[in-house]
Structure 1
Amino acid sequence: MKIETLLCYMAGLLAFSCSTNPTTNPPDATDSVTSQEITYTNPVMPGDYADPSVVRVGKDYWATATSSEWAPLYPILHSTNLVDWETVGHVFPDRLPEWADAHFWAPEIAYDNGKYYIYYTANKKGGNLCVGVASATSPTGPYTDHGPLVCQEAGSIDGFQVRDKDGELYLVWKEDGNSRSLPTPIWGQRMNEERTQLLGEKFEMFRNEPGTWEGGLVEGPAIVRHGDYFYTFYAGDKCCGRECTYGVGVARAKSIKGPWEKYGQNPIMKQNEEWKCPGHGTVVSDESGRDYFLYHAYSTDAFVYPGRQGLLDEIIWGEDGWPHFENDAPSVTAQLPAPGAAAAATETDLDIKEEFEGGELSETWQWPVAQQQAYKLNDGLLVLNASPEKIGTVLGKRTIDGDYTATTALRTGNAHGGTMAGLTAIGDNDNAVGIALSDEQIVLWAMKGGSFSTIARAAAPQEGMVQFQLTTENGDQMQFAWSPDGTTWHTLNEGKAVDASYLPPWDRGVRVGLTAKGPANATAAFDWFRVDN
């Protein structure tokens, strides 16, 4: 599905009129290219793209987002209009940074003097959270990792680079004091041009103020210069999960070292009926000089199940010199200048159809960070190596809504010898629910808190292929069925939905995909995989 089609569909749900073409104001003979506008509908990055960061280089926009415990680490996305995004690579496509083992959060992309820099958060082996940095001469890499820049006892996260008015380079970050019920200062410190070392003494810019909307923390600093001031957009209070209370504030100073003044009308972005807990984004300027904020929020409809999705809103600079957003909340639909007569028509994974015919998997597949790549494409089949650990080997895709149908076809002759292979909804390795072929039986199974259980069984077809289907409503009500031919379907859970509300961890959305549990030398072969949203 093109993104324009989904946008029109969503607009229709909200009682807007729309065609299946991008809604672009048609230019007359006197219009210039820059006068054209496109109407878009949030989210612009559907699915789990928390803590998005974006930079413009020429006519191209490059973005990245949190990976958490899903590899490959830190997607690189490309757009020419800030609305249509395509995943074109990853910062660490086939390995983890040597120094880190978990919590791959909050990457920040920057461009300076012909090089791209990714500042990222990760857990140091045997230690705590640190801010590291990697660099490349191309936005899609390959990236060279330079290791951690700062590792405080309470943890260091959310790195951001900025130059002061004198051209000095600084790293700004948050001390993760909230992990220990402590305040959360935003620190700044000079950094060398190689981005390998901090220089001099750190200084505090500002911190959270208990008893205000900021609650227990401020984080996610993103700094932009406007007029005589530097403005730090930041997030406050609880970021994630069902109890989130996030919002966006802003502070300003005439120098990076301050003094910093918080806006008296913070937060400048709050939740509304459509979007909940907005926050943690970055500012980007288009070619005409208009400023936009790319950030994340939860849909109030699908909520935690697809995770924190990427939204875009224009920044309005008021006569008082402070930035604002229309209605002080995320927009449902909005306009922005279109670079050309229409929006880019890039394919996305809103509706997924994978036939496994090419030489490589698409860039939107993911697997747990502790898992090695364990698949190959062979004669139109995805051959997945099994693993005896927990739910087995995993290949998953982000979900983008609470309502979807996922279907796959498994070659029955390739799943035997104690192997359980099939279609699975995944929160993490300890929390999943799926339908699989196992020892000539169709099995509906669940893993909850690391405890495995079997919900239902049925006899499997003897040879050829079996199709599995998962239909999800409201994010957590799941129906599982199987078919020998794709026409006649047999429901395993007898019409009673499986309650999968336990699946998503606090910082992630649900994935749907393929799993193979069994001896390490066993394999499972899948013919195709589809998701209809």
Structure 2
Amino acid sequence: MRTTTFYRCVLGLGLLGAARPGAQGQRLSPAAAPATTASAAIALANPVLPGDFPDPSVVKIGNTYWATATSSNWGPVFPLLKSTNLTDWTLAGSVFGGERPAWADYYFWAPEISQDGGKTYIFYTAHKRGGNLAVGVASADRPEGPYRDHGPLVGQPDGSIDAFPMRDEKGQPYLIWKEDGNSANKPTPIWAQPMNAARTALTGTKTELFRNTAPWEGNLVEGVSMVRHGGYFYAFYAANGCCGGGCTYATGVARARTLLGPWEKYARNPILTQNAAWRCPGHGTAVERNGRWYLLHHAYAAVAGSQMVGRQGVLSEFTWGPSGWPVFAGGGVATGAPARPAPAVRDGFDGTALGLAWQWPVEYQPTAAVRDGQLHLSARPDHGGAALGHTVYVADYDATATLLHPGALPAGTAAGLAALGDPDNALALLAGDGRLRLVRRAKGQEEVLVETALPAGAGPLRLRLQARRNTQFTFAYSTDEGRTWAPLTTGTATSGAYLPPWDRGIRVGVLAQGPATAVADFDEFTLTSQAP
């Protein structure tokens, strides 16, 4: 374990998404996990964080557990979740909310949350404006924030990512990070360098701990998480290809008597690999709970199409073997309990603010207001329109949204329901200018796949999207509150395999295109997972 100033704790067994006070949010209610005793194992009904939650991190502050994860190019930047029982999680907010750090523009990766001296710190990766990837840090007097950003700590020419704070054997705080050499066809050293007491600057000189040298590691090692156990520092790390259909990620471990080494890699690496249920496990945090040890990490569900959900948060137990090295039962992600059922989502916009579960392209935050049981989304003329999205949980799902007053939208305005990859890639069912259109946006270019006249005198228009294997999409609309549906398709399902970038999953939500003075009104959104 780390010393108490960087104490880590195991992540809980479910996720509850709630809104800010007065907002209508989504309460994600998986089945309750079996109770555990002080020495009992956690029933590992994975995923513990359903949806797109890569690189999860967790810390115990007082009697409350706080977690965060990569948000990449979706805002708000870095979700904050809390729990008092490690079973029921509440989405409490985000580290940076609607404001990005001034020095960074996108790729908000791998936040590491820690507590020290009464302050909460978030060490994170982001792309520096006009530069490359760098490691920054933010701090707060309370884990829920507000957070003050202190800017980048290190940004090497090839990029610096995946920061982790760790005290050495003398109590000196260090920053551990990866030099992103694989971006330039170079090795990927793991570095350690002292930090000042405020954790706002590096001091002294950096020391290389280890780099990718073993065949299974491929062109990189990254995502280091450290604990102290039995007289050793143990560094859990990920290696090889993290993401996408061709991912090759796995987890290894190295150890040393002192933080600066020499470091020895385990001869039986990798210690955590894929199995029939989960693919490409990696970038995890080793944690102790009630005398038992776990790795909280991400992985893709092995069900067809689940890559498009994203890298989900899963939990795997390990023991310390006779030689002191960690051993995972079966060598793969824990599958000893039934999979946790996916949450159902309904947002009736009954509060006074947008629910915390909604996300948007981080560079193009939309203007939205919630009042009188409706969402009022201001349109955008560029970058595919103004988009609000919600993470999905499984490969098969239905989503609906009700668009109010479709016939009253100003000329040149279209609004509706969409599957969103990023601002340049979407599939959308849009109403506007007297027409209903199924539109494909790919690499920034839009194509109308099919269109029909908007029903005469149409009042509220219920729109439906159905995804199967997260790649095949069909669309329909209803003018009688969903009692009957009329399809708007090309005759076959439309492929959305192109939608998400390599490092994230699909979002489903609402979209408004047109002049910024135009406003689209919605009054309900639902997301329902279906059996494959």
TM-score by length of 1: 0.90
Paired residue secondary structure (1:213): helix
Deviation at 1:277, TM superposition (A): 0.6
2:392 to 383, 399, 420: 399
Change (3 A) 1:349 1:298: closer
Question: In the alignment, is residue 293 of structure 1 matched against residue 295 of structure 2?
Answer: yes
The structure 2 residue matched to 1:170, chosen from 163, 167, 174, is 174
Structure 2 residue 311 is matched with structure 1 residue 308: yes
Contact 1:157–1:173 (CA<8 Å) still a contact in 2? yes
Tell me what 1:227 maps to: 230
- Alignment CA distance shift 1:110-1:145 (3 Å): same
Equivalences for 1:457-472 in 2 at 5 Å? 457-461=451-455, 462-472=457-467
Cα distance in 2, alignment partners of residues 378 and 88 from structure 1 = 21
Mapped partners of 1:168, 1:480: distance in 2: 58
Preserved contact between residue 119 and residue 132 of structure 1 (Cα < 8 Å): yes
Q: How many aligned positions are there?
A: 499
Q: Do the aligned residues in 1 keep the contact of 2:32 with 2:87 (CA within 8 Å)?
A: no
2:448 is aligned with 1:454: yes
Contact 1:5 1:21 in 2 (8 A): no
Question: Structure 2: how far apart are the matches of 1:25 and 1:191?
Answer: 41
CA distance in 2, matches of 1:41, 1:452: 41
Q: CA deviation at 1:285?
A: 2.2
The one-letter code sitting in structure 2 at the alignment partner of 1:316 is T
- 1:334 is displaced (CA, Å) by 4.9
Aligned to 1:390: 383
Aligned to 2:509: 513
Name the aligned partner's letter for residue 393 of structure 1.
A
Report if aligned partners of 1:251, 1:261 keep a CA contact under 8 Å in 2: yes
Per-residue deviation, residues 138-162 of structure 1 (Å, max 9, x unmatched): 1110001000000101100001100
Separation in structure 1 between the aligned mates of residue 500 and residue 238 of structure 2, nearest angstrom:
22
Match of 1:76 in 2: 80
Following superposition of structure 1 onto structure 2, how do residues 80-99 of structure 1 map, counting pairs within 5 Å? 80-99=84-103
Structure 1 pair 414–297 and aligned structure 2 pair: CA distance change class (3 A): farther
Q: For 1:487 and 1:102, how far apart are their aligned partners in 2?
A: 42
SS in 1 for 2:330: helix
8 Å CA contact 2:14–2:48 kept in 1: the answer is no
Q: Label 1:189 to 1:23 Cα distance change in 2 as closer, same or farther (>3 A).
A: closer
Q: After superposition, where does 1:276-291 map in structure 2 within 5 Å?
A: 276-286=279-289, 288-291=290-293
Question: Percent identity over the alignment?
Answer: 50
Q: CA deviation at 1:312?
A: 0.8
Shift of residue 83 of structure 1?
4.2
Q: Does 1:197 pair with 2:201?
A: yes
In 2, Cα distance between the equivalents of 1:166 and 1:176?
Answer: 29
CA–CA distance in 2 between the matches of 1:417 and 1:333?
56
Secondary structure, in 3 states, of the residue corresponding to 2:387? strand
Q: 2:469 aligned with 1:474, yes or no? A: yes
Q: Tell whether 2:256 aligns with 1:253.
A: yes
Give the SS at the match of 2:38: helix
Report the residue type matching 2:125 in the other structure. T
Q: State the alpha-carbon separation in 1 of the partners of residues 62 and 409 from structure 2.
A: 50
The reply on whether 1:436 has 2:430 as its aligned counterpart is yes
**C-alpha distance in 2 between matches for 1:307 and 1:502:** 14
Partners in 2 of 1:453 and 1:21 — Cα distance?
42
Distance 1:142 1:280 in 2: 27
1:497 matched to which residue of 2?
493
Are residues 1:141 and 2:145 paired?
yes
Q: Deviations over 1:454-481 (max 9, x none)?
A: 0111121324210100011011111100
What CA distance in whole angstroms lies between the structure 2 residues aligned with 1:296 and 1:332? Answer: 14
CA RMSD of aligned residues (A): 2.0
| Aligned residues of 1:427 and 1:503 also touching (Cα < 8 A) | yes
- Cα separation, 2, equivalents of 1:215 and 1:83: 36
> What secondary structure does 1:201 align onto?
coil
TM-score (structure 2 length as normaliser):
0.90
**1:64 alignment partner in structure 2:** 68
> Does the 8 Å contact 1:276/1:300 carry over to 2?
yes
Is residue 417–residue 522 contact of structure 1 (8 Å, CA) maintained in 2? no
**Are 1:239 and 1:277, in contact at CA under 8 Å, matched by a contact in 2?**
yes
Aligned partners of 1:35, 1:423: CA distance in 2, in Å?
48
Describe how 1:270-419 pairs up with structure 2 within 5 A. Answer: 270-286=273-289, 288-301=290-303, 302-334=305-337, 350-411=343-404, 412-419=406-413
Contact 1:443 1:454 in 2 (8 A): yes
Q: Show CA shifts across 1:56-108 (max 9, x none).
A: 22432211111110000000111234443321110000201000111111111
How far the C-alpha of 1:36 sits from its partner, in A, is 6.4
Cα 1:428–1:4 change in 2 (3 A) is closer
Q: For 1:46 and 1:5, how far apart are their aligned partners in 2?
A: 7
The answer for unaligned runs of 5 or more in structure 2 is 1-12, 17-29
String of CA shifts for 1:338-385, please: whole Å, max 9, x gaps. xxxxx9xxxx98211000010122211100111134100121110000
Contact 2:400 2:417 in 1 (8 A): yes
Once residues 4 and 98 of structure 1 are traced to their aligned partners in structure 2, the CA distance between those partners, rounded to angstroms, is: 34
Give the partner amino acid of 1:395: L
Residue number in structure 2 paired with 1:160: 164
User: For the Cα contact (< 8 Å) 1:384–1:524, is it kept in 2?
Assistant: yes
CA 1:50–1:25 in 2, change beyond 3 Å: closer, same or farther?
closer
- Supply the AA of the counterpart residue of 2:444: G
CA distance in 2, matches of 1:165, 1:334: 38
| Matched ranges for 1:104-115 at <5 A | 104-115=108-119
Distance in 2 between residues matched to 1:478 and 1:108, nearest whole Å: 36
